[in-house]
Amino acid sequence: MSTQISRDVGCPKCGAAVPTRMWQGVCAQQNPELRVRALEETLFDWQCPRCGYRAQLVYPCLYHDRERGFMVYLAPNGSGREFQPVDVGGKFPQLAGVKKRVVSSPAELKEKILIFEAGLDDRAVELVKYALAGVLDKKHGEKAAEGYFVSADERANRISFCFFPEGRARAIPRSTRFDAYRKSLEIAAAAAETEAERNSFLPVDALAARGMLGEYLGAQEEK
């Protein structure tokens, strides 16, 4: 179920107190228009009716896609990693089989929706992205500050991303063979989630990819 609250937001430009509707919970099936706005990254757009000032007002929001079985909790201001995983699956058994993720920006929320709607495993996608970011850095000297999944085409054997190097506005598109994703699925499977992890809102990002890769390579060395 989608849930909303109303709060007065002080306009940073003219100081007007603007009653603002905020979505605490977004249900993709109940409000398909909010799903579209999340994908357009306009869900958190805010405008002052008095002076016209526009801004992005990002607040905590839980996105839920019941049909596809995933939830993404947007915890802004980099609070995603510090967000204490709670035993959601234990407390709410009906959510035990639902994929739960935590992200820290509207761009990451959009990325998770794209990945899960494409029926992909986000841990494997993060591993491919991590490898591509590494190539970008080593071969081209471009350190990617951010990188996002764009699309996947299994038949054309392609998986595509875009990277935003530090200090540059221009995005660098990068793609690789979909086979890289399949290989990454094996690595992700080797780092199986514990029950506690499955029951919590997990951050699955570059840091998680590095952890999975380290675990996999460590196990290879032991063999």
Query: Which residues contribute to the site for Zn ion (CB under 5 A)?
Result: 11, 13-14, 16, 48, 50-51, 53
C-alpha dist (Å) from residue 47 to 9, 19, 153, 218: 10, 11, 37, 51
CB of 16 to Zn ion, least distance (A): 5
Q: Which is nearer to Zn ion, 13 or 143 (CB)?
A: 13
CB of 184 to Zn ion, least distance (A): 47
Q: Which is nearer to Zn ion, 12 or 214 (CB)?
A: 12
Q: Which is nearer to Zn ion, 2 or 47 (CB)?
A: 47
Number of H helices, E strands in the chain: 7, 10
Q: Which is nearer to Zn ion, 48 or 125 (CB)?
A: 48
Positive/negative CA dihedral, 191, 192, 197, 201 = positive
CB of 5 to Zn ion, least distance (A): 21
CB of 37 to Zn ion, least distance (A): 22
Across 67-215, where does the E strand assignment appear? 70-74, 99-103, 144-153, 158-165, 172-176
